[in-house]
């Protein structure tokens, strides 16, 4: 890879949650980002979002030196779209591609020791309870109160979680653009060349993506 590619832009994609999000980073940090609409990411919307993002930043795809894509968990279809699109773009551009697991990336925002309830989906009827070096467990509505009582913090897009407004638990706001969180983790140990998606509800589906 040429030195110009090493020091250029990083395009970040998160397509497993709701309508997805995109973000662009330079060596100096965050450049621009956008959030998709709807409940599921679509390939045509994702490509259009990338084009609009590059236009907003007054740059082109040739300036992308790395693509970081969320590995999930999230929508089965959405994750497939994101990873396939990232692979296609990286081959066309000739740049590096890395995968980032979303939940550990969100958890890294917390410096609190102990368990955190990570809620990436903008709804307070499901959370993922885990701590560093631990596999996340899905927690549904009937156990959510218990989950929050066992957690040291709640991590997620707080504006989409009005149910937590009166909670005494520490709240760490990720904002709605989760691609930004992917970008924040791209230089960490979370970045990996293995692009196998994470499906917590049905791990068997992680196999055979390609």
> Is there a single domain that holds both residue 93 and residue 115?
no
User: Which residues of the chain fall below pLDDT 70?
Assistant: 1-7, 39-40, 121-127, 129-134, 137, 140-142, 144-145, 160, 163-166, 200-210
| Greatest pairwise CA separation for the chain in angstroms | 53
pTM comes to: 0.85
Task: State both tokens at 86.
Answer: 């990232």
- The domain in which residue 128 lies consists of 110-173
Q: How many domains does the structure of the chain reveal?
A: 2
pLDDT at 13: 98
Same domain, 139 and 46: no
**pLDDT of the residue at 59:** 95
**Residues 80 and 15 occupy one common structural domain:** yes
Comparing CA positions, the residue from 100, 42, 51 lying closest to residue 71 is 100
CATH of the domain at 34: 3.30.420.40
> Which CATH number belongs to the domain containing residue 129 in this structure?
3.30.420
168 and 180 inside one domain: no
Q: Which of 122, 185, 187, 132 is nearest to 158 (CA)?
A: 122
Are 176 and 21 within 8 A, CB to CB?
A: yes
Predicted confidence (pLDDT) per residue in 156-195, tens digit: 887 767 766 667 788 888 988 999 999 999 999 999 999 9
| Pair (169, 189) in one structural domain | no
16 and 92 fall within a common domain: yes
23 and 79 co-located in one domain: yes
Q: For residues 10 and 67, is the Cβ–Cβ distance under 8 A? A: yes
Phi and psi at residue 156, to the nearest 5°: 170, 180
Same domain assignment for residues 60 and 10: yes
Rounded Cα–Cα distance for residues 210 and 208 (Å)? 5
72 shares a domain with 130: no
Identify whether the C-beta of residue 76 lies closer than 8 Å to the C-beta of residue 198.
Answer: no
8 A C-beta contact, residue 43 and residue 170: no
Q: Say whether both 148 and 187 belong to one domain.
A: no
Same domain, 163 and 201: no
| 7/90 same-domain check | yes
Q: Which of 84, 102, 98 is nearest to 187 (CA)?
A: 98
């Amino acid at each position: 890879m040429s030195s110009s590619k090493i020091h250029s832009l990083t395009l970040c994609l998160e397509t497993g949650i709701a309508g997805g999000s995109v973000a662009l980073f330079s060596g100096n940090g965050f450049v621009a980002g956008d959030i998709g609409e709807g409940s599921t990411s679509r390939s045509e919307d994702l490509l259009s979002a990338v084009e609009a993002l590059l236009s907003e930043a007054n740059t082109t795809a040739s300036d992308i030196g790395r693509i970081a894509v969320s590995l999930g968990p999230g929508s089965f279809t959405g994750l497939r779209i994101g990873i396939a699109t990232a692979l296609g773009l990286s081959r066309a551009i000739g740049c590096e591609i890395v995968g980032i697991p979303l939940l550990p990336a969100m958890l890294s925002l917390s410096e609190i020791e102990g368990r955190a309830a990570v809620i990436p989906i903008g709804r307070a009827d499901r959370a993922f309870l885990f701590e560093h070096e631990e596999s996340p467990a899905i927690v549904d509505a009937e156990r959510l109160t218990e989950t929050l009582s066992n957690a040291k913090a709640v991590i997620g897009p707080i504006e989409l979680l009005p149910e937590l407004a009166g909670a005494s638990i520490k709240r760490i706001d990720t904002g709605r653009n989760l691609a930004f969180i992917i970008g924040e983790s791209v230089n960490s140990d979370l970045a990996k060349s293995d692009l196998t998606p994470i499906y917590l509800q049905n791990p068997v589906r992680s196999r055979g993506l390609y």
